[in-house]
């Protein structure tokens, strides 16, 4: 993508990135960064639902080859796995990171260095995994990284449980949004993550993300995504994800050209066995029906997931 310039470069040159850093940091003085709205002063060391204070923590960074095809290419997607989470699903496959807090505290300078090191290794993008609770830290690190030559796209890889107000701060910063849309039924979301408002929040978040970046734009020569929205949807046992309703919403309210990854990797991890809704794996028929539902609702731009990856722990 020789002629592509990430959107944050212009934002930095206009002096707007610094203002975004200041605004994001002001929000965590009485934290309203995400829909949990804990109102703790994270700058003074207080922590709320996400158990994160002033500094971000990360568990690992890597050139990841298990991401969606338009992100991976030949050199991988430069993923940074942030510790803790603002959603905390009972079946999380990264339970040790999200729930138990495995990871290392990073200064903004260290986070910037990680971003630059993955760019130097040839990664096609910087992929922030579970970033919703560390937006101020990402923006601060980005400011340093841009000054030192960062110039590849940024991917915001979230659960979909994102505040529209926070997403608006990221307008002009993020090139590729990659949210999950996990559940359509509020009662299922309540059982899974004590977030009955998740479906409504996710609908609003996807709408704002699409407003900012539009459909996924993929470079024809390289096959690598440059900008746009990519939605993940995990097939759940018993149809508890509400696949058809979610695909209908995306087709009718976002875009029929939305790039969607229907994922067939659910397994009952950690506390999932305690809940009848989540204690079994979906079967092949569940996956086939989910794909069929997506196509019947008008979503046909579907990803073929890859499963190989490399990890470098911090």
Who wins on pLDDT, 273 or 128? 128
Averaged over 270-286, what is the pLDDT? 89
Domain assignment present for 142: yes
- Asked if residue 163 is part of any domain, the answer here is yes
- Residue 61 within any structural domain of the chain: no
pLDDT digit string, tens, across residues 178-229: 999 999 999 999 999 999 999 999 999 999 999 999 999 999 999 999 999 9
Q: What is the pLDDT of residue 313?
A: 52
Does the pLDDT at position 307 exceed 60?
no
**Position 303 in a domain:** yes
- Domain membership flag for residue 12: yes
Assigned domain for 42 exists: no
pLDDT at 314: 60
At residue 311, does pLDDT exceed 90? no
Q: For residue 165, is pLDDT > 70? A: yes
In a domain, 88, yes or no: yes
Q: What is the mean pLDDT of residues 91-100?
A: 92
Residue 305 pLDDT grade (very low, low, confident, very high; cuts 50, 70, 90): low
Give the pTM.
0.95
222: containing domain = 7-37+71-313
Domain count, the chain: 1
Q: What is the mean pLDDT of residues 92-121?
A: 95
Is 55 part of any domain? no
Can you give the chain as a three-state secondary structure string? CCCCCCHHHHHHHCCHHHHHHHHHHHHHHHCCCCCCCCCCCHHHCCCCCCCCCCCEEEEEEEEECCCCHHHHCCCCEEEEEECCCCCCCCCCCCHHHHCCCCCEEECHHHHHHHHHHHHHCCCCCEEEECCCCCHHHHHHHHHHHHHCCCCCCEEEECCCCCCHHHHHHCCCCCCEECCECCCCCHHHHHHHHCCCCHHHHHHHHHHHHHHHHCECEECCCCCCEEEEEEEEEECCHHHCCCHHHHHHHHHHHHCCCCEEEEECCCCCCHHHHHCCCCCCCCCHHHHHHHHHHHHHCCCCCECCCCCCCCCEEC
Q: Give the domain CATH number at 238.
A: 3.20.20.70
> Is the per-residue pLDDT at 312 higher than 70?
no
Summarised one tens digit per residue, pLDDT across range 61-73 is: 999 998 899 999 9
């Amino acid at each position: 993508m020789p002629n592509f310039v990430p959107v944050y470069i212009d934002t930095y040159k206009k002096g707007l990135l610094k203002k975004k850093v200041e605004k994001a940091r002001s929000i965590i003085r009485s934290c309203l960064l995400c829909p949990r709205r804990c109102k703790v002063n994270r700058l003074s060391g207080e922590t709320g639902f996400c158990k994160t204070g002033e500094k971000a923590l990360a568990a690992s960074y890597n050139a990841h080859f298990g991401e969606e095809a338009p992100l991976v290419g030949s050199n991988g997607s430069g993923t940074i796995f942030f510790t803790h989470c603002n959603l905390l699903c009972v079946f999380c496959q990264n339970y040790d990171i999200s729930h138990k807090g495995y990871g290392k505290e990073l200064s903004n300078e260290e986070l910037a260095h990680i971003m630059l090191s993955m760019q130097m290794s040839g990664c096609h993008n910087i992929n922030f995994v579970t970033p919703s609770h560390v937006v101020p830290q990402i923006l601060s690190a980005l400011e340093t990284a841009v000054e030192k030559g960062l110039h590849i796209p940024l991917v915001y890889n979230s659960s979909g449980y994102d505040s529209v107000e926070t997403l608006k701060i990221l307008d002009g910063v993020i090139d590729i949004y990659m949210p999950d849309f996990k559940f359509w039924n509020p009662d299922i979301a309540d059982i899974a993550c004590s977030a009955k408002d998740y479906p409504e929040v996710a609908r609003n978040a996807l709408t704002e993300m699409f407003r900012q970046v539009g459909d996924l734009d993929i470079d024809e020569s390289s096959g690598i995504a440059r900008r746009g929205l990519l939605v993940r949807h995990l097939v759940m046992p018993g149809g508890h994800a509400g696949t058809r309703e979610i695909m209908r919403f995306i087709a009718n309210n976002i875009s029929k050209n939305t790039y969607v990854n229907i994922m067939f990797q659910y397994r009952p991890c950690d506390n999932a066995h305690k809940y009848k809704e989540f204690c079994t794996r979906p079967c092949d028929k569940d996956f086939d029906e989910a794909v069929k539902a997506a196509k019947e609702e008008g979503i046909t731009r579907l990803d073929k997931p890859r499963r190989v990856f490399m990890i470098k722990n911090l």
